[in-house]
Amino acid sequence: MNAVPPKKRAQSRPRIPKGYRPNNLGDPHVERVLSITMAVATEVSVLHDKIDTMARLSESQSKFSIADIEAYEPTAEVKAEREKWRKDYLQRLLRIMWEDIPDAPEARGTSYSGVVREVSGE
């Protein structure tokens, strides 16, 4: 019996952000903690959307697959509900910054993607 050697997986390079790191808060350690916090917040938001999708699918059908979850297209109403949840979530998460930074009230109207872009320095 001829054994076929397993294919070697291509070594992928780690994704490294390009450009400068923002230093709006004056302390690079605080910036790092904020970056970590926002990365985790982004993952929580993605999980929230996925759970919401599964809940909506379970209301309409008794069984669904991963493909059904990936193919789900939210309606405009669902998108608006999710955007409201994200806005409220970010306000709770970043409340202390918006209270402590004098010009932060302007940021309250910023969308989720706008805040992520601002914090990530894109």
pLDDT at 45: 94
Q: Which of 122, 108, 105, 104 is nearest to 35 (CA)?
A: 122
Query: What is the CA 96 to chain-centroid distance, rounded?
Result: 20
**Structure tokens belonging to residue 39:** 């990365």
pLDDT at 117: 64
pLDDT at 46: 94
Express each pLDDT in 73-91 by its tens digit: 999 999 999 999 999 998 8
Out of 13-22, 25-34, 72-81, 100-109, pick the least confident: 100-109
**Structure tokens belonging to residue 119:** 């914090």
Q: Using CA atoms, how far apart are residues 42 and 46, in angstroms rounded to an integer? A: 6
What is the total residue count of the chain? 122
Q: Is the pTM of this model over 0.85?
A: no
Query: What is the full DSSP assignment across 88-118?
Result: HHHHHHTHHHHHHSTTGGGGGG--HHHHHHH
Characterize 53-67 residue by residue with b for buried, 16 or more Cβ atoms within 10 angstroms of its Cβ, and e for exposed.
beeebeeeeeebeee
Average pLDDT over residues 18-36: 75
**pLDDT over threshold 90, residue 119:** no
pLDDT at 81: 96
Do 116 and 38 meet the contact criterion of CB atoms below 8 Å apart? Answer: yes
Average pLDDT over residues 19-35: 75
